[in-house]
């Protein structure tokens, strides 16, 4: 176990909680994912504490604590400005909805371990004595790089259906295999995933796409287990859709998409919302191809598949309960991705608008991945990258030199024509046809004289 993980500020806060509980005569240990990560030498994102102290006792020991799930024995304790969850050892009763137990019974350390999802998440660690408490074989499975359900896998997935997606996530993020009996159980129970709320499915799917070293391989696992056809049948429908080999020597739409997902570079874009834009744009950028495929005399064509796919993506993302701003961004990226074929023929004003869009970094990265996973022609990517560098020293967009009042003052009646003239004037400004207000007004008078 990496000592730096147990000496971090985050770990020290959790250790202080353990010491305080023990000073009051109770048992207390680190639990779950933080123990797994410490053994693997990964930096834990958070630390959870388990104890035999009942919630009322925890609240007395930490007067500023808050009971966030008192019926489930969970209390939130703040230490050094960080919030930690302190949970009483428990056993879960019957699950009412494939997600939440109807009741819990406070229990002992072993029983608490045996109710958890996977063996690698069911270990405890004593930060005082430096000992791992493993009742379910989690340490051995870590060594074997296996995701194994605790106890009976059918019971684990019947109790909480979301655990099926979590199994795939852990396997993809940690580069572990899923133990055969656990995998078989997921395949049998895959249809139950549709009973889980769209929000929770979206959270797990997003983590799979954003945290996996090879997200495409994770999507392959989702497909192999029968989960993908339940949550994203439109993506499953890309499998087997042929493409013209002169542009796509790699194979069908499915293969192309998997290759792009695997080639995504996790640190390349920020913030997290923008990384999600790219991930979902890659996943769905060709989702419209099967529905638009036409066998023309020369080759297979996908007429207007980008626009059609953007419409499909909107329906998918709404179904997954994405925020409207994210839906708008992803659909714009998808709907726009075929325009990159024409960038070297674009007017300067059109090109500048393309490059200064809020989604352009994701659009450019999608284009790079698209080319690298198909024909390999990077000329447009290089052209855009160079043009973007040229614009870096200039303002994102200059202020328009002509406004609507100027146009009306020259005798144009208010209405749609004013808006069209404003756009035409701004495009002319971006193309360098004038660089002062006086020259702009003269240009406008000349234009109106022609009409």
Alpha carbon distance 440, 406 (integer Å): 10
For the four alpha carbons of 95, 100, 103 and 104, in that order, the dihedral sign comes to: positive
Alpha-carbon distance values, 157 to 153, 168, 184, 190 (Å): 6, 13, 11, 9
Three-class secondary structure of residue 347 per DSSP: coil
Contact (CB, 8 A) for 277 and 270: no
The pLDDT tens digits for 70-93 are 678 899 999 988 999 999 999 877
Alpha carbon distance 100, 92 (integer Å): 9
State the average pLDDT over residues 433-444. 87
Which segments within 155-314 are labelled E, that is strand? 177-178, 293-295, 300-302
Alpha-carbon distance values, 222 to 152, 162, 313 (Å): 21, 13, 19
The pLDDT tens digits for 119-157 are 999 999 999 999 999 999 999 999 999 999 999 999 999
According to the model, what pLDDT value does residue 244 have?
Answer: 92
Q: Which one-letter DSSP state was computed for residue 125?
A: E
Q: Going by DSSP bridges, is the β-strand pair 177-178/146-147 parallel, antiparallel, or unpaired?
A: parallel
* Domains defined along the chain, listed by start: 1-144 (3.30.460.10), 264-391 (no CATH), 404-450 (no CATH)
According to the model, what pLDDT value does residue 375 have?
Answer: 93
State the average pLDDT over residues 387-397. 73
Q: Give CA torsion, residues 223, 227, 231, 237, to 10 deg.
A: 30
According to the model, what pLDDT value does residue 409 have?
Answer: 87
State the average pLDDT over residues 14-18. 96
Residue 396 pLDDT level (bands cut at 50, 70, 90): low
Q: 444: which 2 tokens?
A: 């406008």
According to the model, what pLDDT value does residue 368 have?
Answer: 96
Task: Report whether pLDDT(388) > 90.
Answer: no
According to the model, what pLDDT value does residue 94 have?
Answer: 73
For the four alpha carbons of 240, 246, 247 and 251, in that order, the dihedral sign comes to: positive
The pLDDT tens digits for 94-119 are 776 666 676 678 999 999 999 999 99
State the average pLDDT over residues 32-43. 95
| Neighbouring-strand partners of residue 105 | 91
Q: What is the CA radius of gyration of the chain?
A: 28
Q: Among the residues of 320-415, which ranges form H helices?
A: 324-336, 348-355, 360-372, 379-391, 404-409
Which pTM does this prediction carry? 0.84
Three-class secondary structure of residue 88 per DSSP: strand
According to the model, what pLDDT value does residue 99 have?
Answer: 65
Phi, psi of 91 (to 5 degrees): -120, 140
Alpha carbon distance 149, 152 (integer Å): 7
Q: Among the residues of 75-150, which ranges form H helices?
A: 109-114, 138-144
State the average pLDDT over residues 339-349. 90
The pLDDT tens digits for 159-209 are 999 999 999 999 999 999 999 999 999 999 999 999 999 999 999 999 999
Between 17-21, 307-311, 343-347, 424-428, the lowest mean confidence (pLDDT) is in: 424-428
State the average pLDDT over residues 11-37. 96
Q: Is the peptide bond before 271 cis (omega within 30 degrees of 0)?
A: yes
Q: 426: which 2 tokens?
A: 């701004």
Instruction: Name the residue with tokens 């739409």.
Output: 253
Count the Cβ atoms, other than its own, within 10 Å of residue 64. Answer: 9
């Amino acid at each position: 176990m990496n000592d730096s993980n147990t000496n971090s500020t985050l770990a020290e806060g959790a250790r202080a909680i353990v010491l305080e509980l023990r000073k009051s005569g109770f048992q207390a240990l680190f639990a779950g994912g933080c123990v797994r990560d410490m053994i693997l030498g990964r930096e834990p994102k958070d630390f959870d504490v388990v104890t035999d102290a009942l919630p009322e006792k925890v609240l007395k020991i930490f007067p500023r604590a808050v009971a966030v799930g008192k019926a489930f024995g969970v209390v939130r304790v703040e230490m050094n400005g960080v919030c930690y969850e302190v949970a009483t050892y428990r056993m879960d009763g019957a699950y009412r909805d494939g997600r939440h137990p109807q009741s819990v019974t406070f229990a002992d350390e072993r029983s608490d371990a045996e109710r958890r999802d996977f063996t690698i998440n069911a270990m405890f660690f004593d930060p005082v004595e430096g000992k791992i408490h493993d009742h379910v074989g989690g340490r051995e499975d870590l060594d074997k790089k296996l995701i194994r359900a605790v106890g009976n896998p059918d019971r684990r997935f019947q109790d909480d259906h979301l655990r099926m997606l979590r199994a795939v996530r852990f396997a993809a993020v940690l580069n572990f295999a899923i133990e055969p009996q656990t995998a078989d159980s997921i395949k049998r129970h895959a249809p139950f995933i549709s009973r889980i709320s769209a929000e929770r499915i979206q959270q797990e799917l997003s983590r799979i796409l954003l945290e996996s070293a090879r997200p495409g391989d994770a999507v392959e696992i989702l497909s192999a287990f029968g989960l993908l056809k339940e949550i994203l049948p439109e993506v499953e429908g890309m499998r087997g859709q042929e493409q013209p080999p002169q542009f796509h020597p790699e194979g069908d739409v499915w293969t192309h998409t998997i290759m792009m997902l695997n080639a995504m570079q996790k640190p390349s874009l920020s913030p997290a919302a923008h990384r999600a834009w790219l991930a979902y744009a890659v996943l769905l950028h060709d989702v419209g191809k099967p529905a638009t495929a036409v066998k023309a005399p020369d080759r297979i064509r996908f007429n207007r598949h980008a626009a059609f796919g953007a419409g499909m993506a909107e329906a998918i993302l709404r179904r997954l309960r994405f925020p409207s701003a994210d839906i708008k961004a992803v659909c714009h990226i998808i709907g726009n991705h075929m325009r990159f074929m024409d960038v070297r023929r674009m007017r300067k004003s059109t090109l500048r608008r393309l490059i200064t869009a809020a989604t352009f970094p994701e659009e450019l990265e999608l284009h790079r991945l698209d080319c690298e996973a198909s024909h390999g022609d990077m000329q447009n990517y290089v052209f855009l990258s160079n043009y973007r560098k040229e614009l870096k020293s200039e303002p994102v967009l200059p202020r328009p030199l002509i406004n609507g009042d100027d146009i009306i003052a020259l005798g144009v009646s208010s209405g749609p024509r004013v808006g069209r003239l404003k756009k035409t004037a701004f495009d002319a400004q971006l193309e360098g046809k004038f660089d002062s207000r006086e020259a702009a007004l003269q240009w406008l008078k000349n234009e109106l004289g022609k009409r």
